[in-house]
C-alpha cells in the first residue's frame, strides 16, 4: 500500500502595539504550508481522448486521431510553501456616540512556491522539444520516434499533478462592525441594531511561474507575469488548488434588528465589476482598436470582456419562544436572492472547460429560494 509523509517546518511571529484603549497596531510574518491532498497524491487516473496538440517536431502537423491523455495523481508531490506578511490596525473609539464601533484594516502580502497544479498535454511536448530531449518530461511522451531525434507521431501523453506554480498576491481586508441600543436615541425605541461589513480589495494576483503548458491568450490561459486580480471568467488560469482569479472588490454586509425573541437580518453580497479574462483584449481596452479588422495575429481578442457590478440580497427572520426551564422553540424563515438576480455571464475558457456559462464561485445559480423551519431546544 502506497504512503507518503513529509518533514517540513512552519513558524509564525506576531507583533502587537497597543497605543491606547482605542487604537492597536498589529502585524504577522509566517511560513505556511499545504500538504497535497489524497487525490493529488493517489488518484489512479484514467485514459481520456486528449485535445489536439501541435507536434513541434512536425511543423504544422496536429496529432489527434490516436492521441491518449493519461492523467492522475503524483506520489512524489511536495507541500506548497507560502510566506505571508500582514500588518494593520484595530480602532475601537471610546467616545459616547461611537461605543460599539469596531474598525479593522489589514494589508497582506503572500508569495507561494511549489504550487500544485495539473499539467496540461502540451507541457511535456513543449518542454521536451525546447530541451532537445533532455527534459525529464520527455519520459511522459510515447510515439513514433524518440525525444532526441523527434517524435514524428505523438501517440500518448502521461501527465498528473506537479509542484509547478508560483504566484504572489497582495490586498487589503477591511472589517467594520457597529452595535447600538436604539434607546440611546429615544427611550420609546426598543431593541438594538447591529451592522457588519467585511470587504476585501485585491491589488494583484500575479502568476510568477508555471509549467502547466498553458499559453497566453487564445484558447487557454496561464501567462506568467499577468495580473489576474480583477478577473471573474470561470475555467481557471490553471487547475491549481491554491490559485483562483478574483474581482478587485468583494464585500459582504449584514444589518440586523433584535428585540426580545425577534430577529431580522438583511444580508448584501457584492462582487465588483471585473474583466472576463485578463489575458484577452476586449473593446474596453485601447489596444482593441488596432485589432480591427481581425487578422491572423488577433486570436487573443474578444468582443466582450467586462462584467458589471453584481449584488444579491438575503432576508431572514426568526422568533424564539423561551420556556422557564430553558427549553425553547424557534420559528425561522429565509429568502435567498431576494430580488431573483440572474448570474452574470462569465463562461469558462477554454470552451467546454466548465459546466455553466458563469462562475458559480461569485454568481448565484439558483435564483430566489425560500426556506422555513422550526428549531427545538430540549
Does residue 97 surpass a pLDDT of 50?
Answer: yes
**All 3 cell numbers of residue 68?**
491518449
Residue position matching grid coordinates 482593441: 288
The pLDDT of residue 69 is: 64
What is the DSSP secondary-structure string of 56-99?
A: TTSTTEEE-TT-EEEEE--TT---EEEEEEEEEEEE---SGGGT
Q: Report the DSSP beta bridge partners of residue 161.
A: 118
pLDDT tens for 64-84 read: 655 666 677 788 888 999 999
Q: Please, what is the average pLDDT of the chain?
A: 83
* Confidence label for 131 from pLDDT (cuts 50, 70 and 90): confident
Does residue 234 surpass a pLDDT of 60?
Answer: yes
Assess contact for 227 and 205: CB atoms under 8 A: yes
b/e code 199-225 from CB counts within 10 Å (16+ = b): bbbbbebbbeebbbbbbebeebbbbee
Does residue 296 surpass a pLDDT of 50?
Answer: no
**All 3 cell numbers of residue 286?**
485601447
Q: Report the DSSP beta bridge partners of residue 169.
A: 110, 205
- 11-35+79-117+160-377 to CATH, choices 3.30.70.1520, 2.40.170.20, 3.40.309.10, 3.30.470.20: 2.40.170.20
Range in 144-153, 282-291, 305-314, 366-375 with the lowest mean pLDDT: 282-291
Residue whose C-alpha is closest to residue 267's, from 305, 302, 232, 317: 317
Separation of alpha carbons 231 and 221, rounded Å: 12
The pLDDT of residue 350 is: 54
Does residue 298 surpass a pLDDT of 60?
Answer: no
Give the residue, 269 or 163, on which the prediction is more confident. Answer: 269
pLDDT tens for 14-30 read: 999 999 989 999 999 99
The pLDDT of residue 127 is: 78
Q: Average pLDDT, stretch 28-48?
A: 85
* Confidence label for 215 from pLDDT (cuts 50, 70 and 90): very low
Provide long-range contacts, Cβ within 8 A and 24+ apart, for 48-52: 50/121, 50/157, 51/121
Beta strands in 140-191 (DSSP E): 141-146, 150-181
CA angle 38, 43, 44 (to 5 degrees): 150
* Phi, psi for 184 (deg, rounded to 5): -60, -30
Residue whose C-alpha is closest to residue 238's, from 200, 274, 208: 208
Amino acid at each position: 500500500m502506497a504512503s507518503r509523509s513529509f518533514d517540513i517546518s512552519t513558524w509564525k511571529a506576531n507583533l502587537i502595539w497597543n497605543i491606547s484603549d482605542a487604537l492597536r497596531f498589529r502585524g504577522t510574518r509566517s511560513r505556511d504550508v499545504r500538504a497535497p491532498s489524497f487525490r493529488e497524491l493517489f488518484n489512479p487516473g484514467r485514459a481520456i481522448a486528449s485535445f489536439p496538440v501541435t507536434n513541434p517536431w512536425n511543423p504544422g502537423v496536429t496529432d489527434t486521431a490516436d492521441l491518449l491523455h493519461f492523467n492522475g495523481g503524483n506520489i512524489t508531490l511536495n507541500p506548497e510553501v507560502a510566506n505571508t506578511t500582514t500588518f494593520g490596525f484595530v480602532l475601537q473609539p471610546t467616545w459616547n456616540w461611537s461605543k460599539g464601533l469596531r474598525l479593522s484594516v489589514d494589508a497582506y502580502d503572500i508569495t507561494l512556491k511549489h504550487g500544485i497544479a495539473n499539467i496540461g498535454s502540451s507541457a511535456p511536448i513543449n518542454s521536451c522539444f525546447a530541451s532537445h530531449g533532455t527534459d525529464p518530461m520527455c519520459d511522459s511522451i510515447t510515439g513514433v520516434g524518440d525525444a532526441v531525434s523527434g517524435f514524428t507521431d505523438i501517440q500518448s501523453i502521461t501527465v498528473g499533478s506537479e509542484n509547478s506554480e508560483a504566484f504572489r498576491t497582495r490586498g487589503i481586508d477591511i472589517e467594520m462592525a457597529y452595535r447600538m441600543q436604539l434607546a440611546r436615541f429615544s427611550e420609546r425605541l426598543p431593541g438594538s441594531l447591529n451592522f457588519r461589513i467585511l470587504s476585501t480589495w485585491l491589488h494583484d494576483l500575479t502568476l510568477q511561474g508555471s509549467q502547466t503548458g498553458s499559453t497566453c491568450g487564445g484558447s487557454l490561459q496561464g501567462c506568467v507575469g499577468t495580473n489576474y486580480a480583477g478577473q471573474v471568467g470561470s475555467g481557471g488560469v490553471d487547475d491549481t488548488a491554491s490559485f483562483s482569479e478574483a474581482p478587485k472588490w468583494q464585500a459582504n454586509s449584514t444589518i440586523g434588528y433584535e428585540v426580545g425573541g425577534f430577529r431580522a437580518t438583511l444580508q448584501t453580497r457584492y462582487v465588483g465589476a471585473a474583466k472576463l479574462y485578463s489575458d484577452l483584449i476586449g473593446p474596453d481596452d485601447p489596444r482593441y482598436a488596432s485589432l480591427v479588422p481581425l487578422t491572423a495575429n488577433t486570436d487573443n481578442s474578444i468582443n466582450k470582456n467586462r462584467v458589471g457590478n453584481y449584488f444579491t440580497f438575503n432576508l431572514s427572520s426568526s422568533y424564539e419562544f423561551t420556556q422557564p426551564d430553558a427549553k425553547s422553540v424557534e420559528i425561522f424563515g429565509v429568502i435567498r436572492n431576494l430580488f431573483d438576480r440572474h448570474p452574470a455571464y462569465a463562461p469558462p475558457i477554454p470552451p467546454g472547460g466548465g459546466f455553466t456559462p458563469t462562475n458559480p464561485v461569485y454568481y448565484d445559480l439558483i435564483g430566489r429560494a425560500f426556506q422555513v423551519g422550526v428549531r427545538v431546544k430540549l
